[in-house]
Amino acid sequence: MERAKQFSEARYVSLETLRKSGVAVRTTVWVVEDDGVLYVRTGPRSGKVKRIRRNPRVRIAQTDLRGSIKGNWEDGLARFVIGDDAERILGLFRRKYGLQIRMLGWLARITRSRRAQMVVLGIELT
Read off the pTM. Answer: 0.88
Decide if 119 contacts 43 (C-beta within 8 A): yes
For residue 112, what pLDDT is reported? Answer: 62
C-alpha dist (Å) from residue 64 to 13, 27, 57, 116, 124:
7, 12, 23, 27, 22
Residue ranges of the chain whose pLDDT lies below 50: 115
Q: What is the span of the domain harbouring residue 33?
A: 2-125
Q: What is the CATH number of the domain that holds 51?
A: 2.30.110.10
Q: How far apart are CA 124 and CA 79, in angstroms?
A: 8
Residue 119 parent element (H or E): strand 119-125
Number of domains in the chain: 1
C-alpha 8: how far from chain center? 12
